[in-house]
Amino acid sequence: MKMRAPTKEEAKALGQAFARARQTLAQTRNARRAPRCEHVQPNGERCGSPALRAHTLCWQHREQLVNPPRRPRPPIQNGTQAALDYVVSELWAGRMDTKVGGALLHGLQCAMGRDRLRRATAALTPQPDAKTPTEAGVPDAPVVGEAGPHQP
Ligand SMILES: [Zn+2]
């Protein structure tokens, strides 16, 4: 099978493609020669990613050094107890200003007091729409010994 010679446009496109491939190869060689990140992982191995220019660490490990990862926040649930747990843990870890934490704790204490008071009030107050068993048509329960089943 005899191949035909490329047209002028095809030859130009091929030449450009080869030039791009040569450039990519040269960039890859340079990248492989770049200094490596000096971060040592917990398993004792080095990171091995290219270090940032004029730095000894890669982008990721430099970022971790500058902005250390924060402990993932526990999911916030509804409820004052969850908020209280959160404020106490942030205060304990030193991530929250003590004045702000104090104000939040006071607010939570007030909210918890109100909740407790609301629950206690609700438990003691008869509900307006609740019917007593006789109003609802349910007969009174027999008093034991008076109207109970006959026992020999
Ligand atoms: Zn690294």
Task: Give 74 Cα–ligand 1 centroid separation in angstroms.
Answer: 28
Residue 8 resides in a domain = no
User: Are 50 and 88 found together in one domain?
Assistant: no
Residue 3: the pLDDT is: 84
3-state secondary structure 101-121: HHHHHHHHHHHHHHHHHHHHH
Q: State the virtual CA torsion across 8, 12, 18, 23 in degrees, nearest 10.
A: 170
Task: Give 71 Cα–ligand 1 centroid separation in angstroms.
Answer: 20
Query: Among candidates 46, 24, 23, 21, which has minimal Cα distance to 35?
Result: 46
Residue 105 resides in a domain = yes
More confidently predicted of 32 and 52:
52
Task: Give 149 Cα–ligand 1 centroid separation in angstroms.
Answer: 84
User: Are 84 and 112 found together in one domain?
Assistant: yes
Give 53-81 pLDDT, tens digit per residue. 999 999 999 998 888 877 776 555 567 77
User: Are 60 and 85 found together in one domain?
Assistant: no
Query: Among candidates 12, 138, 36, which has minimal Cα distance to 20?
Result: 12
pLDDT above 80: residue 93: yes
User: Are 89 and 62 found together in one domain?
Assistant: no
Residue 108 resides in a domain = yes
Give me the chain's average pLDDT, please.
79
Rounded Cα gap, residues 142 and 151, in angstroms: 15
Query: Among candidates 20, 58, 17, which has minimal Cα distance to 36?
Result: 58
Residue 71 resides in a domain = no
- DSSP code string of 24-86: HHHHHHHHHHSPBP-PBPTTS-B--SBPPTTSSS-HHHHHHHHSPPPPPPPPPPSSHHHHHHH
Task: Give 58 Cα–ligand 1 centroid separation in angstroms.
Answer: 4
User: Are 23 and 61 found together in one domain?
Assistant: yes
Range of the domain at 62: 17-66
Residue 75: the pLDDT is: 55
Residue 46 resides in a domain = yes
* 150: its two tokens: 């006959």
Residue 97 resides in a domain = yes
Estimate the crossing angle of helix 80-92 against helix 98-124, to 10 degrees. 160
User: Are 90 and 112 found together in one domain?
Assistant: yes
Task: Give 72 Cα–ligand 1 centroid separation in angstroms.
Answer: 22
Rounded Cα gap, residues 93 and 104, in angstroms: 16
User: Are 23 and 59 found together in one domain?
Assistant: yes
Task: Give 67 Cα–ligand 1 centroid separation in angstroms.
Answer: 14
For the chain, how many structural domains are there in total?
A: 2
Residue 137 resides in a domain = no
User: Are 86 and 52 found together in one domain?
Assistant: no
Q: Let me know: does 141 contact 147? Beta carbons within 8 Å.
A: no
Residue 147 resides in a domain = no
Task: Give 56 Cα–ligand 1 centroid separation in angstroms.
Answer: 9
